[in-house]
Amino acid sequence: MAKALKINPRDNVAVVLADVRPGEEIVVTTEGETVRLAARQAIAFGHKIALAELHADQPIIKYGEEIGRAQTEIGAGDWIHLHNLTCRRGHEHPAQ
C-alpha cells in the first residue's frame, strides 16, 4: 500500500510518495478523512494522482491553485501528467 500527499484542502490531486504499480492501493490522508483509491496506471514517485473524476477542461488543483486543465476525461486513480494536463500559463502573450 502506497501513500500520497494532498497538499491543500482544495486540491483534486495528490502526490505519490513512492513508485506505484497499476492496481496498487493508495492511501491519502487529508484533514479529517482518509481516501483510498487504486492506481489505474504506473505512477512514478513525486507524480500526481487524481483524487476524483475530472472532466475535460476542468481545472486541476494542486497547492490550492489551478496548475492546468484536464485535456480529456480523467478517472479517480489516474496518473496526471503532460499526456492529460494542459497549461496555458506563460503562453498568454504571443512572442513579439
pLDDT recorded at residue 76:
96
- Evaluate if pTM is beyond 0.85: yes
CATH of the domain spanning 2-86: 2.30.130.110
In whole angstroms, give the CA distance from residue 69 to residue 14: 15
What is the residue extent of each domain of the chain?
A: 2-86
pLDDT recorded at residue 31:
77
Task: Tell me which H or E stretch contains 80.
Answer: strand 79-80
- Name the residue among 11, 81, 9, 7 with its Cα closest to residue 40: 81
pLDDT band at 92 (very low <50, low <70, confident <90, very high): low
Question: Does residue 34 sit in helix, strand or coil?
Answer: strand
pLDDT digits (tens, 9 = 90+) for 4-54: 999 999 999 999 999 999 999 999 977 778 889 999 999 999 999 999 999
pLDDT digits (tens, 9 = 90+) for 53-77: 999 999 999 999 999 999 999 999 9
Owner of C-alpha cell 476525461: 73
pLDDT recorded at residue 1:
75
| Secondary structure letter of residue 20 according to DSSP | B
In whole angstroms, give the CA distance from residue 88 to residue 16: 25
